Amino acid sequence: AAGRRETRVRAPRSLTMTAETTETAMLKARRFAGILSSESSGVMATMRQNSRWALSGMASYGYGEPEEPADDPMLEEFKAMRRRLFTWRNWDEVSPIAYLAPFLQVVRSVETSGPITGMALSAVHKVLKHGLISEHNPDAAEAMHCIADAVTLCRFEATDPDHDDVVLSKILHVLLESVRCPTGALLSDDDVCNIVQACYRIGHQSGKESALLRNLSRHTLREIVQSVFGRLPRLSDAVEHRGHHIDAPAPPPRVSTEGAVDGD
């Protein structure tokens, strides 16, 4: 009929937004899983170049059952993490410790060489740089503390000064990014103090550091200070919102009777 009108049924806006949100979450999950898969395989490949891990479970990288059981727990942790990577859908609900633990264990280990430690540090830096740890994740603060604790206490087998400086520079980059990234606001005061002290020690502890490492240490310290003080306006607003006053008198210092501070 001439007067007939065609009508189109439109999906409710809420359903459209839900579908878009689900698709975005799936793309995000695949991207994050791909990043961690690539970084973990790089660390494992570097470990297998070392005689200690050369014959440890070489048949599998974590996606299937190994033909031989791995002897080293660090490789086992990587494999267990890789088997779960692509099963995670909502990364805001995944505890960051679940995928950070293998990398941080390598960073802490005194048995790993400089190249292995450097690869693990690069992986942690990429996790921070690409925002895998969300501010809305309930375990984000704990994850940031674990990163700061592991990297400030990083240990590795020394090889030669040039290669060692590369690893030390990576430590500086990770510490800077841990403060500068959005979740860096979740770091505690003690964590930030430890980060500042570690950055200073790397460039000025022995007096024999290279000029490049000293300058990088100073640059990192400047960037950390700027980042911390750049957050002061937001911290002031947060404190006022909670009903406290910034100019309130500070509590008296606690006096420890266990012993004096070094150097007193």
Q: Which long-range contacts (CB under 8 A, 24 or more apart) does 228-231 make?
A: 228/179, 228/192, 231/185
What is the rounded average pLDDT of the residues 151-169?
Answer: 87
* pLDDT band with cut points at 50, 70 and 90 for residue 19: low
| Residue 113 neighbours by CB under 8 Å, 6+ apart | 50, 156, 157, 159
Cβ burial 213-251 (10 Å sphere, 16+ → b, else e): beebbeebbebbeebbeeeeeeeeeeeeeeeeeeeeeee
Residue 71 and residue 56 in contact, taking contact as beta carbons nearer than 8 Å: yes
Tell me the residue type at 109. S
Residue-wise pLDDT for 195-254, tens only, equals 999 999 999 887 788 899 999 999 999 999 999 999 888 765 554 554 443 344 444 444
pTM: 0.77
